[in-house]
Structure 1
Amino acid sequence: MVEIKRRKTDRRTLYTIRVIKDAFIKLVKEEP
């Protein structure tokens, strides 16, 4: 996560956040 702050690549940051949110939502939906 530190490399994201060093590199100012908004595309990669947004993509990473999107993937993390997607995985988090899947985990929440699987939980009863």
Structure 2
Amino acid sequence: SGSVLKGAEGAEGAEGAEGAEGAEGAHRKMC
């Protein structure tokens, strides 16, 4: 549950590209 939120925060961080990819990866694993 927290992985998605952390991914969103990561996207807003300095490395937005990696954060976005991490968020998608976490979402895929959850679904």
Provide the TM-score with structure 1 as the length reference: 0.51
Equivalent in 6, 11, 18 of residue 21 of structure 2? 18
Moved over 2 A (4+): none
Which is higher, the Rg of structure 1 or of structure 2?
1
Higher relative contact order by CA 8 Å / sep ≥ 6: 1 or 2?
2
**Count of aligned residue pairs for this structure pair:** 21
Unaligned runs of 5+ in 2: 1-8
Provide the TM-score with structure 2 as the length reference: 0.53
